[in-house]
Structure 1
Amino acid sequence: MRYLWLLLVVCLASTGHATEIYQYVDEHGNRIFTDKPPVHADAEKISLPEVNRTQMPSPAAPSGASQAPPADDGASAPPYRQLAIAGLPEHATIRANDGNIDVHVKIQPRLAMQHRLQLLVDGVPHGEPVRSILLRATNLDRGEHSIAVQVLSGDRVLQQSPAHQVTIQRTHINAPPRRRP
């Protein structure tokens, strides 16, 4: 009985490669693809290209203590091709009465699992490092600020974006109330 099931599975698995595909146009002008040629229409048999197959290289076996850790001399290429602040124009004036602004980070390739993003406001870390590409600067004072983002691996800075200069406008709470005309 076991061999019968094995034979059945092998036969069913091999039928996908032998399937022929046909295409025809129905009376409404729609192009139809099917595995059975229709009797009522002139179907064209489609030949599919050969499936690409690649041989995966076998991973090198670790040799234990004989393999030295990679030297980190600081001259290596940065891990991300693109690290920039997006959606925040340079020298923008932002009206934020609560002093909060959202900072979107554009990063290519995607942020690695062990890396975090740290928002810098005026060169000082602002908030906790996070894995999100949407950062929030909170309670910024009125005036001009420098906004940048760092990629961190633990406590080590891997890369930093160029700084953006923004001006925050907030309502002055000590301003006298306006007189009604």
Structure 2
Amino acid sequence: MRLYFAIPLLFFTIAAQATVYKWVDKDGKIHYSDKPIENSEAVEFKSNTQNQIQLNTPKAPPSNDDQKSLTEYNLSITSPAEEETIRNNEGKLTIMARISPDLEAKHVLVLLMDGAVVGTPQTSPIFSLKDIDRGEHNFVIKAVAQNGKQLASTPPRKIFLHRAIVTRQATPTPFNGGN
């Protein structure tokens, strides 16, 4: 069944490639057509006859900032360990990282906790946090250039923070036997 459709389709595509004819009228104007006219001749197109436009886009010269940003940092969180449980009732937590080579003057480190930036960017790889809610948290440290371009990032580090909550229990009242 498919063969019945394929054969006419094949003939149709062959016929669709029409020949182009060229002729000159009595005023000397050149005309082109897909139908043969008296005194016309078939035009053969070569593969290099196709219209192909290539635009050369100028490249901006690299600025000094871009050249300095080419530093490739190796960045990793060293403490706390992956899935470590931290017990601190005040919600204090210290995240330490290792970076090599040393951070350049125009670059900073940013700490993200659960996908949101925590604190201000800094050059030290030690982040001290306080009043962190208890529970599971994911931390990522990123090295960033002044223009906001990310230069390096640590893999996410999952930690658990436990905080004891002291709640006052209701004091039991004695039962008076219905009085």
Q: TM-score, normalised by structure 2?
A: 0.54
Deviations 1:136-168 (CA, angstroms, capped at 9, x unpaired) = 222111110001101111233222110110000
Count residues with an aligned counterpart: 107
Number of the residue aligned with 1:159: 152
Do residues 106 (structure 1) and 90 (structure 2) align? no
Gap regions ≥5 residues in structure 1:
1-65, 71-75
SS state of the match for residue 83, structure 1? Answer: strand
**1:17 corresponding residue in structure 2:** none
| 1:135 aligned onto 2:142 | no
Q: Is the 8 A contact 1:99 1:168 kept in 2?
A: yes
Amino acid in structure 2 at the alignment position of 1:112 = E
**Structure ID, larger Rg:** 2
Query: Which residue matches 1:89?
Result: 81
* 2:150 partner amino acid: V
Query: Take 1:173 and 1:121, find their aligned partners in 2: how far apart are those partners?
Result: 26
- The percent of aligned pairs where both chains have the same amino acid is 29
Residue type of the partner of 2:157? H
Structure 1 residue corresponding to 2:161, chosen from 168, 171, 180:
168
**Which of 109, 122, 145 is the aligned partner of 2:137?**
145
Q: Distance in 1 between matches of 2:96 and 2:155?
A: 14
Calculate the TM-score normalised by the size of structure 1. 0.53
For the structure 1 residues 158 and 176, does the alpha-carbon distance in structure 2 shift closer, same or farther, using more than 3 Å as the test? Answer: farther
1:97 deviates by 1.0
Aligned-residue CA RMSD in angstroms? 2.6
Offset at residue 78 of structure 1 (A):
6.5
Cα shift at 1:174? 2.7
Distance 1:176 1:77, change over 3 A: farther
For the 8 Å contact 1:78–1:159, the answer to whether it is kept is no
Post-superposition Cα deviations, 1:42-78, rounded to whole Å, max 9, x if no partner, equal xxxxxxxxxxxxxxxxxxxxxxxx98116xxxxx976
Aligned to 2:118: 126
Q: Secondary structure at the match of 2:133?
A: coil
Structure 1 SS opposite 2:105: coil
- Matched residue SS, 1:162: coil
| Structure 2: tracts of 5 or more residues without a match | 1-58, 64-68, 171-179
The residue correspondences of 1:4-153 to structure 2 (distance < 5 A) are: 68-69=61-62, 79-80=72-73, 82-153=74-145
Q: Deviations over 1:158-181 (max 9, x none)?
A: 22110110000001143549xxxx
